Structure 1
Amino acid sequence: MPIPQRSAATRYFSGTYAEARAKFLDAAAHSGAAVESFVLPGHRGALGEALATDVALLGALDAKKILLVTSGTHGPEGFSGSGTQIATLHDADLLARIEQAGVALLLVHAVNPHGFSHLHRTNEDNIDLNRNHIDFGAPLPVNAAYAEVEPLVLPATWPPTPADDAALAAYVEKHGMPAFRNAVFKGQYTSPDGLFYGGTAPSWSNQTIRAILRKYTASATHLGWVDVHTGLGPYGHGEKIYPGRNTPEDLALAQSWWGADVFSPFSGDSASANVSGPVVSTAYDECPKNARIALMGLEFGTVPEPEMLYRLRADTWLRRHPDAPAAQRREIRAQLRDAFYCDNEEWKGMLLGQTRVVLLQTLQGLRKA
């Protein structure tokens, strides 16, 4: 029986982490993928469920060419990334093309399962995973401006008072919006309950993604990695962000695969800030040294940036005030979820269509490499 048009996109998406995980594992089994699960120890989900990063592999474990798709780096982003991964596992035409090209498809579901389930952008330790994948044997990155900004973006009470808003506006007026954005979004390593905290040691998710890469890309000569994100840029548009090394050769490779509309944070033309320690940077550490690596953060827009930052501030404030009234807690959680996941047919369809194009482009890049 044909699936009604209204549910064509929706059927791949989920309302909770637990539902998303079950759908992903079912889809992996349906496609014949080999599955491995990495369970987060010492923590349970919002519904009491186990929390895990799950891996599905279609193709040979010793494949030379690998198409890797990751989801849920920033918690509630997982609703969208999971939906695109599940849709891919049900896409018989795309899977046949991947198999015929001799490429292995590696899907990593819920890089940050705790944040996905509990509706936090950060992990169980308030760590932003895209600030955590650095060399902790070296001095930590310094963001001196953050200390002055923190009390302005995280006031004592929520919502901010008119005086709080005025103080923040005065800072922006004095220093300029670019300086404010850099102070906030760059990441910081000094305030464990603050915004965009990078941690002081590798997180569980950091260690897990490295273990996955060491096992599943051990024989790789070419890797195309697409990390699905949401929250920045125009509504429904999938910006192709290059998050790799700042070298002309690596950026040129990404643009040759994915087009001239690949933007890089270090060039100043991307919706993303130039940060230290993104998850995808682990490819340079853990994949074979001679492997050609093409990296993309596929970022789908949801709400305007000022609104996104406001909701992230509320989320972080709530971490500091777990005794907040239940109604306020629910409202902040719901608003954060909605900031990362537009639960409507139009937006979901935009995600699925653009993601499929990117995966086909990645496949072509790998096939011709």
Structure 2
Amino acid sequence: MIGIGEAFSPRYAQARQKFLQACVSAGLTVEPHAHPGKGQGGEELSMDVALDGDANAERLLIVSSACHGVEGHCGSGVQVFALHDAEWREKAKAQGVAVLYVHALNPHGFSYGRRVTQENVDLNRNFLDFSKPLPVNQAYAKLHPLLLPDAWPPTPENQAAVDQWIEKHGAAAFQAAVTGGQYQFDDGLFFGGKAQTWSNKTLRNVLRRHAAGARRLGWIDLHTGLGPNGIGERIFAGRDDKAAYARANAWWGAPAAPVTSVYDGSSTSALLSGLVSEAVYQECPQAEYTGIALEYGTLPMLDVLGALRADHWLHKHPDAPAELADGIRARMRDAFYTDTDAWRGQVVSQARQAMFQAVDGLSG
């Protein structure tokens, strides 16, 4: 075993090394997918994949991290701990479930402490058919100049204008407008892109390679940034399919805490476009798919959005004073990673439960 605190890392390079070392200790072969760029410290970037179990298994569970790069501090810690967890590994093996660990879906964002890819794209808004007209987020278009003002911190006038918009339309409408996904402003927040990103294409290759034979496929995609601190909301991740949602609730739900959904308004997340789970339907059509995003809370929603506004402003102003830039980067990490033993303990405990439940669901 490994201590919970030991499984987590303050930087991508360290997280990757811990993941690779955990795979070696577990006797697993790592399949690296080298990213074309370099990390913030000049390190190699990679989406690393390891399969624990039979390559021809008909029941497969995917556990993935860092879809939104900076959220990888959490997801990587869960993966590293799981690879050292003999009871967990034996549970999956005994029930004939292979586990595919995908470490750092978005390694660039993880290394640079950003939520987006090197293309400034929110990966979880990037899985659309780009040969068709893209969605138009008219509410975001009106907010865009307010969200990314010329100066940072925002002037009192700018903040008053944002507050006025929220007061008029409501916090939920503000969250939906900003986070739902937009495809018009390539320097903006929650930009879904105008083509498939490197991470999108690479993930599809991983699915074709490792999930083509799966008949039942489960997926736990690890996220942070929404909801009460340390609480892992289980958000249904898939198309608006009542049967799949019922399966997700049977696996992971409870009377007091059912699996939530963006489709019925029960989730803390807004309705989103271009979800990463769309790749499963397209690349693994033979599989019965059941998935969740396990979303751990950190800071209040408006604080998280404020951190994201600052991060995007800094990306547009790379020559910002060092003290200001360092403060923005620290604020980003705090928005997506609560650096305490208590939070990490909650994260691992809830993820471990969800993984055990997924194995029971897949083998039931």
TM-score by length of 1: 0.96
CA distance in 2, matches of 1:181, 1:117: 26
**Residue 59 of structure 1: how far off its partner (Å):** 1.1
- Percent identical pairs in the alignment equals 49
CA distance in 2, matches of 1:277, 1:184: 15
CA distance in 1, matches of 2:103, 2:65: 5
What is the aligned partner in structure 2 of residue 145 from structure 1?
Answer: 139
What is the aligned partner in structure 2 of residue 332 from structure 1?
Answer: 328
* 1:274 and 2:267 correspond: no
* 1:296 and 2:289 correspond: no
What is the aligned partner in structure 2 of residue 237 from structure 1?
Answer: 231
What is the aligned partner in structure 1 of residue 34 from structure 2?
Answer: 39
* 1:360 and 2:343 correspond: no
Q: Contact 1:14–1:20 (CA<8 Å) still a contact in 2?
A: yes
What is the aligned partner in structure 1 of residue 72 from structure 2?
Answer: 78
Matches within 5 A, 1:107-256: 107-256=101-250
What is the aligned partner in structure 1 of residue 8 from structure 2?
Answer: 13
Count matched residues.
361
Q: Contact 1:70–1:227 (CA<8 Å) still a contact in 2?
A: yes
Deviations 1:219-255 (A, max 9, x none): 0000110000001000100000002111211111111
**Residue 269 of structure 1: how far off its partner (Å):** 0.9
Deviates more, 1:199-208 or 1:242-251: 242-251
What amino acid is the match of 1:35?
A: V
CA distance in 1, matches of 2:197, 2:269: 22
CA distance in 2, matches of 1:346, 1:102: 33
Deviations 1:53-105 (A, max 9, x none): 00011112221100110000111110110000000000001101111111111
Instruction: Give the SS at the match of 2:182.
Output: coil
Deviates more, 1:14-23 or 1:145-154: 145-154
What amino acid is the match of 2:94?
A: Q
TM-score by length of 2: 0.97
Structure 1: give runs of 5+ residues left out of the alignment: none
Instruction: Give the SS at the match of 1:232.
Output: strand
Deviations 1:321-358 (A, max 9, x none): 11111111111111101111111100000000000000
Match of 1:309 among 305, 312, 318: 305
CA distance in 2, matches of 1:300, 1:170: 29
Match of 1:49 among 43, 52, 57: 43
CA distance in 2, matches of 1:117, 1:96: 32
Structure 2: give runs of 5+ residues left out of the alignment: none
**Residue 290 of structure 1: how far off its partner (Å):** 3.1
Match of 1:67 among 48, 61, 64: 61
CA distance in 1, matches of 2:236, 2:280: 14
Computed over aligned residues only, the root mean square deviation of the Cα atoms, in angstroms, reads 1.1
CA distance in 2, matches of 1:358, 1:337: 25
Deviations 1:247-301 (A, max 9, x none): 21111111111114100011101011111112122111111x2311001000000
CA distance in 2, matches of 1:291, 1:183: 33
**Residue 173 of structure 1: how far off its partner (Å):** 2.7
Deviates more, 1:102-111 or 1:256-265: 256-265
Q: Contact 1:227–1:280 (CA<8 Å) still a contact in 2?
A: no
**Residue 13 of structure 1: how far off its partner (Å):** 0.6
Deviations 1:170-216 (A, max 9, x none): 22233333332221111100101001000000000000110000000
CA distance in 2, matches of 1:304, 1:273: 15
* 1:263 and 2:257 correspond: no
CA distance in 1, matches of 2:351, 2:166: 36
CA distance in 2, matches of 1:23, 1:245: 34
**Residue 217 of structure 1: how far off its partner (Å):** 0.4
What amino acid is the match of 1:73?
A: C
* 1:345 and 2:341 correspond: yes
What is the aligned partner in structure 2 of residue 320 from structure 1?
Answer: 316
What amino acid is the match of 2:326?
A: R
Match of 1:103 among 92, 97, 101: 97
